[in-house]
Amino acid sequence: MVNITINGKLVQAYEDEMLLTAIRRENIDIPALCHHEAVEPYGACRLCMVEITKDEWDGWKNHVTSCLYPVEEGLIVNTHTPTVIELRKTILDLFLAGSPRSTVIRKLAAEYGVTKTSYEEVPDGTDCILCGLCTRVCDKMGFSAISAVNRGHGKEIAPPLNEPPPDCVGCLSCAYICPTRYIKFTDDGKTRKIWGRKFKLLHCEKTGQPTITEEFARYLVKNRQIPEDYFKINDLSHRKELALKMGEITQWGREE
């Protein structure tokens, strides 16, 4: 454990954890749009920036993204200094200029007193704030079906060559993790459409309920050693039985 001071309060944090985790444990509200515990921290939205210093730094202060900064013994953290608040305000103002219709951005900006952007609205601005959560989660799932393309102000998230991505399995992880709900998909119980691709859904043999896409099921069977018949019946008792079997596999079968 390491000792750090957050907003004047001495707290203990786990070694190797990031500052943001320690701060949030203290129930201090700091915004972060590109952060999710499921994936590696990224540091793109800059909203979680805080001021840090140490006694031995002779008054020198630094501003760091708390999602990426590992806790250190003796760190003195201030999460709401005037500069930090000004910074968050500016960032939200800039986000608002790019995504003026996003309810998530508008709500967050309003919390910091920004109801209308003071900058020029970006022509053809979208709700995508380039937080990179979708690409990171897609990478982590093992698909890497979408990626950031171009750079600078023309950066966007897209499948390769802007064509329906061959590596996508329609798992919807990207859409679910998107903080502004920008990634759209449709699902009518038979087919699912996302990123310009169409996926056929599997259905429970017993209840006829849709489960997951064929491609996703195939992937899980192949790469995660999930039994093939797991997706055939969407029934709890059946699943439990299979899950136990899977437990055996993970415990004994996948050791090497």
Report yes or no: 180 and 104 within 8 Å, Cβ to Cβ. Answer: yes
* Cβ nearer to other proteins, comparing 50 with 212: 50
Beta carbons of 23 and 30 less than 8 angstroms apart = yes
Q: How far is the CB of 18 from other proteins (least distance, A)?
A: 10
Q: Minimum distance between the CB of residue 125 and other proteins, rounded to whole angstroms?
A: 10
Which residue's CB is nearer to other proteins, number 128 or number 221? Answer: 128
Binding site for other proteins (CB under 8 A): 42-46, 49, 63-65, 68-70, 83, 86-87, 90-91, 94-95, 97-98, 118-120, 122, 129-130, 132, 147-148, 150-155
Quote the least distance from Cβ 154 to other proteins, whole Å: 7
Contacts of 196 (CB under 8 A, 6+ apart): 159, 163, 164, 165
Distance CA 106, CA 36 (A): 20
Residue whose structure tokens are 């899950």? 243
By beta-carbon proximity to other proteins, the closer residue of 29 and 120 is 120
Quote the least distance from Cβ 192 to other proteins, whole Å: 27
Cβ at position 50, least distance to other proteins in Å = 12
Which residue lies nearer to other proteins by CB, 91 or 172? 91
Spatial distance between the Cα atoms of 125 and 63, rounded to a whole number of angstroms = 29
Closer by beta carbon to other proteins, 98 or else 170: 98
Provide the strand spans (E) within the chain. 2-6, 9-13, 49-53, 62-65, 76-78, 147-149, 156-158, 185-187, 191-194, 197-203, 210-213
- CA–centroid distance for 156 within its chain: 16
Give 58 or 120: the residue with its C-beta nearer to other proteins: 120
The CB-of-198 to other proteins minimum distance in angstroms stands at 28
Q: Contacts by 43-50 with C-beta closer than 8 Å and gap 24+?
A: 43/67, 43/68, 44/130, 44/131, 44/132, 45/91, 45/95, 45/129, 45/131, 46/87, 46/91, 47/88, 47/91, 47/92, 48/20, 49/84, 49/87, 49/88, 50/19, 50/23, 50/77, 50/78, 50/79, 50/84
CB nearer to other proteins: give 66 or 213.
66
At its nearest, how many Å lie between other proteins and the CB of residue 7? 19
